Amino acid sequence: MVIPTIQAQLSIFKDARDYQILCLALFLILGVAMRDWSLQPAIVATAIITALGSQGLFSWLMSHNSSSNQLQTISPAEFNWRSPLITALGLSLLLRTDHIATMALAASIAIASKFLFKVNDKHFFNPANLGIIAALTLTNDAWVSPGQWGDEIWYGLIFMGAGGMVLKRVGRWDTTGMFLASYALLEAVRNLYLGWTWDVWAHRMMSGSLLLFALFMVTDPRSIPNARPARLIWALAIAVLTFVLRNQFYLSTAVFWALFLLAPLTVMLDKLWESPRFEWKQFGKVELLSAR
């Protein structure tokens, strides 16, 4: 028998990305209020305005009808504002700069990558991560501070709780779990080999930037492999490369470089393991559940 059910009709958050936007915005407020970041409101506003503007511009350009050579109008209802807003908040949380132009460059490149670097109509670079790499390599006034959140355990608990709420709706706990477990194991083996106390290991694992990366960046369902086996291999590879870059080349931004360098691997893994591509689902719509 088929029973119609209505899920959360009165809920404000009808899209999983709404929870992600809320969490990232709260993290940003928490960081400014509790960590005393030297974060300028103008820089955050620049990231948001540039990301939304770039999304609108590229959406308009890509709507070109080749048969009629006319540009079609994009209605407000069709405009994808959630994705660029998430990218802008991610850049504001992780990227530091004192110049508006640098943040504008990072945000515009981040959004452009979604439209320009695509295979089978799927982008494989994480937009915010590519924006960070672009700002670090193309300018002299951008940096990432891995220790900006400190290593207090309650920050980690907040990140895990909020990230878990988002990942439950997105369904990508496997990727975060594999990345964190693999990286934690590698750091533990190194810790034992060097004879260090376990507080050193805990300090490295409780980095706020590492947790934000694991919960909100390495799990982007639109740019990571589609099939679960592929995602597990991909997350393991990122963990290993992060470990090598951090401990052999002493890169404080190792996680971002690892994701950037291995992003094209998504294309190959999607070919090896075919699986339906992720699509964002709206909550609060009428769904049909079959009951026996």
Question: What residue spans define the domains of the chain?
Answer: 16-62+77-143, 171-272
pTM for this prediction: 0.85
Distance of CA 245 to the CA centre of its chain: 20
Q: What radius of gyration do the chain's Cα atoms show?
A: 20
From first to last of the 292 residues of the chain, give the pLDDT tens digit. Answer: 444 443 444 345 677 788 888 888 888 887 777 765 667 889 999 999 999 999 999 998 887 644 445 545 555 556 789 999 999 999 998 999 999 999 999 999 999 999 999 998 899 999 999 999 999 999 999 998 766 665 555 455 555 555 555 656 666 788 988 999 999 999 999 999 999 999 999 888 877 788 888 888 888 888 999 999 999 999 999 999 999 999 999 998 999 999 999 999 999 999 999 888 766 555 444 333 332 3
Cβ contacts of residue 174 below 8 Å, gap of 6+? 228, 231, 232, 235
Q: Which of 128, 132, 127, 147 lies closest to 210, judged by CA?
A: 147
Are 158 and 166 in contact by the 8 Å Cβ rule? The answer is no
Q: Coil, strand or helix: which one is 287?
A: strand
